[in-house]
């Protein structure tokens, strides 16, 4: 009787968990469904309120968007180039920094680690004035360089990689490679970096999405329309005067801008779950 009641209790708990997960999933996905629904509706239809059904103005909204005054396709390329370059530099150099802190013993190691973590506490808005003055003096205003190069220093990615190394990277493996005569760069690029693939995949995705959605810094640095990223163009489209304002185009552009991110998450979701779970466990 005791085993039977315990089994029934476990089944009840499992059912409750599944019901909660289904409800939470519906709540999260509903807004994406609503976005794509609204992307197919005209401005007049949107003014009438909510509807759960797709409309027939999706192609019209897309044509108006592409053939409008804003360089949407240029914005897509700019966002993709900046996001992919930033994510590559971020994961490589942050992993290298984490490896240096993890594998070497030197004076000031703990101080440097604490300093890097302290940088995480400084908001971007605090340093943006000095940043703009610096790139202005260097002649880098209205270019992609100030949006890519600072991504090399990513304290959050460094901290995650450091924690991941502590749980998965054995120092005996590094020492064995050194005894065999391998150089430090060879050890990092051929042994350590491949072992970090799950964590690298996770942080590459997060860095890509963060850069893709970034509006604040690009809006201050980029001024030419053909160089602007999608978040800036979305803001410009929403700020149009009431004679040209079309909410259907706004929803279509938002759907267009998040589509690559959704594709990345769908293809890399297994790496996200596996990498996060491994990175959160320390042996």
The whole-number pLDDT of residue 283 equals: 44
In the chain, the percentage of residues whose pLDDT exceeds 70 is 90
Instruction: Say if residues 274 and 199 touch (Cβ distance below 8 Å).
Output: no
Q: What are phi and psi of 226, to 5 degrees?
A: -70, -10
- Over residues 51-103, the pLDDT tens digits come to 888 888 888 888 888 887 888 888 889 999 999 999 999 999 999 888 888 88
Q: Which of 279, 270, 271, 272 is nearest to 98 (CA)?
A: 279
The mean per-residue pLDDT over the stretch 8-31 comes to: 85
pLDDT, tens only, 230-283: 999 888 887 766 666 778 888 888 888 888 888 877 776 666 655 555 544 444
pTM of the model: 0.82
Distances (CA, A) of 53 to 10, 24, 39, 237: 39, 22, 11, 25
pLDDT at residue 20 is higher than 70: yes
Q: What is the DSSP string of 28-95?
A: HHHHHHHHHHHHTS-HHHHTT---SS--S-HHHHHHHHHTSSS-HHHHHHHHHHHHHHHHHHHHHHHH
3-state helix, strand, coil in the chain (%, to 5): 75, 0, 25
- In the structure encoding, which two tokens stand for residue 282, read together? 């320390």
CB count in 10 Å sphere of residue 184: 15
Q: Report the distance separating Cα 152 and Cα 87, nearest Å.
A: 9
- Cβ count near 243 (within 10 Å): 5
């Amino acid at each position: 009787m005791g085993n039977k009641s315990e089994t029934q209790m476990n089944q009840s708990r499992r059912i409750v968990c599944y019901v909660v997960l289904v409800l939470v999933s519906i709540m999260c996905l509903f807004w994406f469904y609503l976005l794509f629904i609204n992307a197919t509706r005209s401005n007049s239809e949107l003014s009438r309120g909510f509807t759960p059904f797709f409309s027939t103005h999706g192609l019209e909204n897309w044509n108006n968007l592409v053939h409008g005054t804003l360089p949407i396709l240029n914005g897509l390329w700019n966002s993709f180039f900046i996001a992919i370059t930033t994510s590559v530099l971020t994961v490589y150099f942050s992993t290298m920094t984490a490896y240096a802190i993890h594998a070497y013993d030197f004076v000031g190691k703990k101080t440097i680690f604490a300093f890097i973590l302290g940088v995480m506490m400084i908001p971007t808005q605090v340093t943006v004035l000095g940043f703009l003055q610096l790139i202005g003096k260097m002649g880098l205003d209205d270019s992609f360089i100030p949006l890519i190069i600072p991504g090399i220093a990513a304290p959050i990615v460094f901290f995650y990689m450091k924690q991941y190394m502590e749980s998965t990277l054995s120092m005996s493996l590094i020492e064995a490679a050194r005894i065999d005569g391998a150089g430090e760069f060879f050890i990092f690029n051929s042994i350590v970096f491949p072992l970090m693939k799950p964590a690298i995949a996770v942080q590459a995705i997060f860095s890509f999405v963060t850069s893709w959605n970034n509006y604040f810094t690009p809006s201050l640095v980029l001024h030419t329309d053909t160089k602007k990223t999608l978040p800036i163009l979305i803001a410009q489209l929403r700020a149009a005067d009431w004679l040209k304002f079309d909410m259907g185009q706004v929803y279509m552009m938002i759907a267009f801008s998040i589509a690559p991110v959704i594709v990345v998450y769908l293809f890399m979701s297994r790496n996200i779950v596996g990498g996060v779970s491994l990175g959160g466990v320390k042996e």
